[in-house]
Structure 1
Amino acid sequence: MNHNADQCIGSIHSAKAWVWLIFSLWYFVPVYYMPFSGTVYVLLAGVYCVFVALYLWAITLQSRHIWKPVLALTVLAIAITPYTPGSSTFFSYIGFLIGYFYRTRVWVSILAGLALIIGALHFYFSYQFPFFALPALSGLVTISIIGYVERIRTEARTSQLKSRQEIEQLAVIAERERIARDLHDILGHTLSSIALKAELAEKLLTQEKLDNAKQHLSELHQIARNSLSLVRQTVSGYKHRGLSGEVMELCEKLRQNGFIVDLNGDIPQLSPRAETAIILALTELTTNILRHSNGNHCQIEFQQSCDKILVRMRDNGAVKSLIPGNGLQGIQERLNALTGDLQSSISKGCEFVISLPRKELHQQG
């Protein structure tokens, strides 16, 4: 039995138990058209009280224990049938319990067995069909189907709720990973720039070149302020200067460190997510060039094909091997989330090719 149904039957149907018990008063209908002795009246009332207790007990149980009240209710119905055809009412409640708690094969088997019991009781005690067999069979089958359908609906609602919770958890995890990658890329680039500027300023101070040292310290201050702004913009998913502004800034940074920079192609207008991914990728690649490249020339090129947007970044440094670290892995993961890719080559210098689908182009208007 599904554990979700175990949880829901007690919390949902127990709250409505007294409402459904109103229909059990049909048990007393034969009192109006059949003669009973005083002892039988007491017996009927006592049996009804036992029935109510068993029913209320049943709706608090889990499926592995439901056979106990079902068996007890069945025995109770059989035992009181010789005295009143009103016992047919009990079979409706038994039908609901087996329909709600048991899987299809077991449910159908028990349902068939109960129908045979009803048929046997009908013929043995010779009750008229409309007074026992008809209400017993119709109540058993119809109410049992209602219980079965209710179980399916309960499981579906529980499954949907669980799916939504899992999706929300995955979204939170993905967002945390995105922020972690973005901050890693930004802080890695920023700290490298700060370390470089601080080292130069320290050397200039040692050489007592105060004016040059002051200039580097001023640039260090500006880098820190720009980086703080970039961190805030990254967390919110936007970049203040946009892709063009960031590319120009990266080109200027490379030139300040002795690189000749060629910028080719038209910089496209991308969706915010794609723009963020490209900016952080180029920032990480620029940091790698400044750290590891022994070249003096860098080229950044933007291209568009019928189905892709390509961004190439290459330098003429001598690289013998390329071992992807956290930075490159972060770029790859971010691009994969956009159905993009990152390819690298070290045959002639070091070249990286970023590709994104054309659907990431910003749709204006």
Structure 2
Amino acid sequence: MFRTYQKNDFAYFVSLIFLVFPVLGVFGGYFPVWTIVLTGLFTIAYLLMVYLKKAYSKWIPFLWFYTLAYIIFMTLTFQGGMMWFVFFNVNLLVWRFEDSVSSYRFLSFLATLLILTSSSFLLTDDLSTHLMSMAILLFSLGMYYYQNRIRQERKMEEQNRTINILSAENERNRIGRDLHDTLGHTFAMMSLKTELALKQMDKEQYDAARKNLEELNQISRDSMYEVREIVNKLKYRTVAEELLELERLFDLSDIVLTVDSSLDLDSLSPVTQSTLSMVLRELANNVIKHSQADSCQIRLSRNLGIILEFEDDGCGFKEVTGQELHSIRERLSLVDGDLEILSQSHPTIIRVHLKEGGKA
């Protein structure tokens, strides 16, 4: 029924210190004795929302609306300072429920703030009360925005860390597979040829042994060439391989990726393959890590060279100065390519033009 205590739960308990005010208010004569029951129920409702498992989430709306009703009732009936209790709900919104501004909890929370703030203006002419209610309204919304941004940044960092780990693991598996497929067969053949040559030499079949040694020499030369090819491939992926990897990474990031290509990717030169792969990777990393996009489109075509258009529906660039994506621009300058930002946001569209047969 209840989840276990976690080290980050300490923040939920720190706010409980504010409960001292309604409790002491009873002893000070500010609140009736029976309000202790309401305060106790508020405390229970708050802690239940912190620790109830998802299987019991049907109780959350009742608990949530009780805490808001308690704050409204205590503030309007007894003490305006009880409005500060809205920070209990701010904590829950950001860290427990991770709610967006369109959720029923945030909307009801906002309605509560507006009710309390407007009531302070309607029920009293006291300037200090007006200022306090406005301060609480602005401060609580500011806290929600600030804490929500911190949570989003932490979530994105964790997501990026996971993606990097999976990418590295995938690369290790690819290297291991290539080495196994190439060298495993080669070493088996070399061992077989060596054993056969030794047996032939024991039988004084020198011509046959010489032939096997010559074949062994050729196998070793071929294997050196194949290893060199593997090493070269480690330096870059083909565009087709990069697109497959991007599909997996975007899927992990909950971003819908659409690829539209009219190119024969296998016909591209190694230089073009390498450059396009690296550009695709850097643009994709920017989208995943910074754009907060929900969808992305990659278009590849040929028009006086290779054209790559990268489009996403994320936040984009605040302004375009010509210095954006400088590392990609530098990479493209080495192969007679260029980059242009066609639209800076909503959607963000980046076009890369790469001359075929550019400088190696």
Looking at CA atoms only, which structure, 1 or 2, has the larger radius of gyration? 1
Structure number with greater CO (CA < 8 Å, separation at least 6) is 1
TM-score computed with the length of structure 1 as normaliser:
0.49
TM-score computed with the length of structure 2 as normaliser:
0.49
